[in-house]
Amino acid sequence: MVIISAASTILAVALAAVSCTKASSGSSNLTVPPGAVYIDPLMYNVVGANYTEWRNLSTVGFNPTNTAPPFIQVLDPSFLEVTGPSATIRAITSNPGFAFAHEAPIYVPDLNVVFFTSNDGGPLGYSGWYNNSVVSMINLTEVDMTLASTTGDVNVPIQTLNLSDTVQMVNGGTGPYKGNLLFMTSGRALLPSSIVLVNPNPPYNTTVLLDNFLGRQFNSLNDVKILPGTDIMFFTDPTYGWLNGFRPEPMLPSQVYRFDPSTGQVRVVADQFVHPNGIAFTPDGATAFITDTGISGGFLGTNQTLPATIYQYDVDPLTQSFKNRRVFAYIDSGVPDGIQLDTMGNVYSGCGEGTHVWNAQGTLIGKFYLNSTTAQMIFTKSGLVILDEETIYLVNIQAQGVDLITV
């Protein structure tokens, strides 16, 4: 629960039912989407010794206007180039009590379908040492038609995939990769983590590409991206399988790997993480982003002094190793989980109370504020699809995502 502070009345913006609203900040007037709130950072640089609304927990979001979620929180005028003038956040499917929409979103344009997976080992995922997670899909053509018939939220049915038993605890994904879904599985119990290709059409034939590092099992593979202009896979391997009780004790450091499927060569390209998680590249392949969710320790609990950080690297043009590590952003709420980029260079990550967006310089410019943890999101023809565990949201923004298709 967030309680409004006295200072927040300066910036409170009324909900509107028209196509746009005016948000006042000092002498400037911003036209923002309906229901959006503009927060001027200058108004909160100093709160004073008598301030009573200190955020002592990283799980509590910054909502000084006490606006009811979901809403769009504008922290910099440039965020309006992302949203456009009429963006709204609408639920498109939900299943209270089941975290069916956690990670691994893959948008297949030819089918206009988003594939995704349920929570593996976490709360409400109903998966663990003895039970697998579930991969599902939602048809956005059906979503668009249903949304057009009403002004509110909708609940479009999803379809669950019956996949091979070699696919255990899907956590990350990208693609389409040469026409297939590229999934990272964390493994389950003594069944190894793996990289798998899944045909997006029935019967969803599966091919395992990698399940070991020179005879050693990975810890619990997490997320993956393809280096632009190549077919080479880069992936993260934290220890969340063990921390969430569905994998044995880890036997490798938490690292980022490079896998060339044409040669079979696997090697480490970055280390010195607590929990490397999400991964993304700029379209030119020159820069990589890795999220470190070290603050979130599974059964070890939360340690707010550990990283909740997005790191940025240069990609060596010869070796493709990651070098010149620097902090891109530290997260003010929750952890930076999955990560995506748009064509304007903005960086998106699923965090503690919604999806955060930074510009290319690392300035936080806005949030899609849901007041709940969103691990991942994906760009589609219809807008930004946000996975929020028990609910999936669609935000009809004007920004476009970078191309993730590998032909």
- pLDDT tens digits for range 237-274: 999 999 999 999 999 999 999 999 999 999 999 999 99
Asked if the model's pLDDT at residue 16 lies above 50, the reply is no
Average pLDDT estimate for 344-370: 98
The model's confidence at residue 57, banded by pLDDT at 50, 70 and 90, is confident
138 vs 8, more confident: 138
Are the CB atoms for 193 and 183 separated by under 8 Å? no
The whole-number pLDDT of residue 52 equals 84
135 vs 3, more confident: 135
Are the CB atoms for 87 and 33 separated by under 8 Å? yes
The whole-number pLDDT of residue 28 equals 53
The model's confidence at residue 22, banded by pLDDT at 50, 70 and 90, is low
Asked if the model's pLDDT at residue 23 lies above 80, the reply is no
Nearest to 289 by CA among 331, 335, 338: 338
C-alpha 308/C-alpha 349 separation (Å) is 11
The model's confidence at residue 54, banded by pLDDT at 50, 70 and 90, is confident
Average pLDDT estimate for 360-369: 98
Domains and CATH numbers, the chain: 36-42+61-396 (2.120.10.30)
Asked if the model's pLDDT at residue 12 lies above 50, the reply is no
Average pLDDT estimate for 276-293: 98
Asked if the model's pLDDT at residue 2 lies above 70, the reply is no
Report how far apart the first and last C-alpha atoms of the chain are (Å, whole number): 46
Asked if the model's pLDDT at residue 14 lies above 80, the reply is no
**pLDDT tens column, 296-337:** 999 999 999 999 999 999 999 999 999 999 999 999 999 999
Q: Considering the chain, what is the average pLDDT of its residues?
A: 92
The whole-number pLDDT of residue 252 equals 98
Output the CA angle 13-14-20, nearest 5 degrees.
Answer: 90
Q: Cis link prior to 253 (omega < 30° from 0)?
A: no
C-alpha 31/C-alpha 318 separation (Å) is 46
